[in-house]
Amino acid sequence: MKIKFANFIFLLVFIFSSPVWANVNTLSDCSLPSVTKAISAATDGDSIICPSGNWTWSEKVTINKNIEFRGSGPDYTIITPVIGTAIVITGAKSFNINGFSFVGPSNQQYGFIQIASSGNGWRIHNCKFINGIPRNIWVGNETDMTYGLIDNNMFILSTSGSMQGISILGAGIASRKENFMAYLGTINAVYIENNIFDFNDRSDGAIDAGNAARFVFRHNLVKGTQIGMHGTDSGYRVGVAFYEIYENVFTGKAAGNAPLGAGYWIRSGTGVIYNNRISGIWNLGGCGEYFCFTNYRTFGPESWSGKCDGTKWKYTPPASLSLTGEYKFCSVTKDQICKVNSDCPYSETCSEFMDGSGLLGYPCRAQVGVGPNQTLEPVYMWNNINTDSNKILGAASVVDHIVIGRDVIVEKTRPGYSAYIFPHPLSKTIINKLPLVPSNIEIK
């Protein structure tokens, strides 16, 4: 297998198909008052179009309608939000945002665009996100699942500071009790495809995820940074549910602050990682592999849950669930929290604790290689290649709770798995082309 790289060409062509939006409102300017007024007057199916120009917004706008909000192209319609977040999505409807540049730093936990809705079928595409510190796009409101597409964007870090490209939160521990493995390879995930992540140092990664998130990261070009995710170790949240990471190109650079690995500190979840191509300068640290798996609770306690060492810890829910006190888990539906037996389905008992009954608490709550209700669902990895050495890459664990060959299976395809259709069907509503890898890439 061989990959050849030539000069990188970034070409953006907007070719709009026949209209798919009911009413088109072309604004004379993209000032905050004009946009706010247009959104207020819009109805589902409308399109709001901003002209070329540079605008500074002192407040955020809220979209809770099924509308398209379109700029004249990311090099032409430029928004600088003073307070950080430019757009907040609420409600339960889809939306379409495209054709803007958002310039930071965002100075806001929730980034330039915050998706705080429960709607599905949304899309963010053909935008540039520049120096969005600490985040560019935030997906999720912690209690509802939301699915959509983030595609054909550029995420650029050209300054110093800790930046995440995209942060994804799922619907929390309650959503882990259903058989979410049935959604692997389906539309029921946040899809991140055909994007460029170009960081001048490794920073905080192209993506981050947690709280039972479900995401697909495919066909992206990642330069100078890595991807990662949280475990059951952050802010009372549980780890990721599943991920599909495939057909990406990762390029390490900046020897003084090289990225830690293509997938570094993968701290939770299950899924598939395959057909990725890696080259350049990397700082693999104490792991020694480009895909490194860990579990923070192996090392010590968190503020709300103790060390995973066999101790029978109870669960403290996050404030967003409006629950008080400590909880156990049901005996079979082990992601169902409970205080008494009647909280559990069927004839189950309220008798389980945070972690398992195996050695040192294995399996730890929602650790790597764990599926719904604490069942064992290993991560499968295959055909990930370092194109500099033309070698197939393995995986490494830095904790005893994660065993390669049990929790992570290397060089074996996942039985019964097939990827969802590419490109994502949502990308066909508007015809646009954004080549994200060198034009003469050749894979043999």
Which CATH number covers residue 283? Answer: 2.160.20
- At 414 the pLDDT is 98
Q: Are 222 and 139 members of one domain? A: yes
Which strand ranges, in their side-by-side order, compose the sheet holding 164-169?
A: 61-63, 87-89, 113-115, 135-139, 164-169, 207-210
Residue 380 inside a domain? The answer is: no
Q: For 67-80, what is each residue's pLDDT tens digit?
A: 999 999 999 999 99
pLDDT at residue 7 above 70?
A: no
Q: Are 230 and 356 members of one domain? A: no
Which element (helix H / strand E) includes 350?
A: strand 350-352
Instruction: Give the pLDDT mean for 372-394.
Output: 96
pLDDT at residue 388 above 50?
A: yes
pLDDT mean across residues, the chain: 89
Q: Are 295 and 343 members of one domain? A: no
CB atoms closer than 10 angstroms to residue 25:
16
Residue 35 inside a domain? The answer is: yes
Which element (helix H / strand E) includes 296?
A: helix 296-299
Q: Determine if residue 302 is left, alpha or beta; phi over 0 gives left, psi from -120 to 50 gives alpha, anything else beta.
A: beta
- Determine the residue type at 5: F
* Rounded Cα distance, 291 and 387, in Å: 15
Q: For 306-329, what is each residue's pLDDT tens digit?
A: 899 999 999 888 777 788 899 999
* Rounded Cα distance, 152 and 224, in Å: 18
Half-sphere exposure of 206 (CA within 13 A, CB side): 34
- At 256 the pLDDT is 64
Instruction: Kindly state the tokens that stand for 337.
Output: 């929290």
- Determine the residue type at 212: A
Portion of the chain with pLDDT greater than 70, in percent: 90
Q: For 239-254, what is each residue's pLDDT tens digit?
A: 999 999 999 999 998 7
Q: For 365-377, what is each residue's pLDDT tens digit?
A: 999 999 999 999 9
Residue 315 inside a domain? The answer is: no
Q: Are 50 and 195 members of one domain? A: yes
- Assess whether the previous peptide bond of 105 is cis (omega < 30° from 0): yes
User: Higher model confidence: residue 413 or residue 200?
Assistant: 413
- At 20 the pLDDT is 56
pLDDT at residue 142 above 50?
A: yes
Residue 301's pLDDT band (boundaries 50, 70, 90)?
confident
Q: Are 162 and 124 members of one domain? A: yes
Residue 255 inside a domain? The answer is: yes
Q: Are 354 and 245 members of one domain? A: no
* Rounded Cα distance, 66 and 94, in Å: 5
Strand partners, 150: 124, 192
- At 105 the pLDDT is 83
pLDDT at residue 257 above 80?
A: no
Q: Are 259 and 148 members of one domain? A: yes
pLDDT at residue 439 above 60?
A: no
Task: Give the global pTM.
Answer: 0.91
pLDDT at residue 302 above 80?
A: no
pLDDT at residue 159 above 60?
A: yes
Q: Are 328 and 233 members of one domain? A: no
Q: Are 270 and 335 members of one domain? A: no
Q: Are 293 and 347 members of one domain? A: no
User: Higher model confidence: residue 235 or residue 402?
Assistant: 402
Q: Determine if residue 109 is left, alpha or beta; phi over 0 gives left, psi from -120 to 50 gives alpha, anything else beta.
A: alpha
E-assigned strand segments in 196-318: 196-199, 207-210, 214-218, 221-223, 227-229, 242-246, 249-252, 263-266, 270-274, 277-280, 291-293
Residue 434's pLDDT band (boundaries 50, 70, 90)?
very low
User: Are 379 and 239 within 8 A, CB to CB?
Assistant: no
Three-state SS for 16?
A: coil
* Positive/negative CA dihedral, 100, 101, 107, 112: positive
Q: Are 341 and 252 members of one domain? A: no
pLDDT at residue 335 above 50?
A: yes
- Determine the residue type at 409: I
Contacts of 41 (CB under 8 A, 6+ apart): 25
- At 376 the pLDDT is 97
Residue 98 inside a domain? The answer is: yes
- At 18 the pLDDT is 33
Q: Are 244 and 140 members of one domain? A: yes
**Number of structural domains, the chain?**
2
- At 408 the pLDDT is 98
Portion of the chain with pLDDT greater than 90, in percent: 75
pLDDT at residue 435 above 50?
A: no
Residue 329 inside a domain? The answer is: yes
Going by their DSSP bridges, the two strands 379-382 and 277-280 should be labelled as unpaired
DSSP-derived secondary structure for 378-414: -EEEE--EETTTTEE---EESSTT--BTTTEEES-PP
pLDDT at residue 10 above 50?
A: no
- At 404 the pLDDT is 97
Range of the domain at 335: 323-367
Instruction: Give the pLDDT mean for 227-241.
Output: 87
* Rounded Cα distance, 169 and 176, in Å: 13
Specify the range with the lowest mean pLDDT, choosing from 37-41, 88-92, 204-208, 236-240: 236-240
E-assigned strand segments in 116-239: 122-125, 128-130, 135-139, 148-151, 154-157, 164-169, 190-193, 196-199, 207-210, 214-218, 221-223, 227-229
Q: Considering just the CA atoms, what is the radius of gyration of the chain in Å? A: 22
Residue 384 inside a domain? The answer is: no
Three-state SS for 251?
A: strand
Angle (nearest 5°) at CA 171 between 170 and 173: 105
Residue 147 inside a domain? The answer is: yes
- At 372 the pLDDT is 97
Residue 287's pLDDT band (boundaries 50, 70, 90)?
confident
User: Are 227 and 201 within 8 A, CB to CB?
Assistant: no
Which element (helix H / strand E) includes 35?
A: helix 32-41
- At 108 the pLDDT is 78
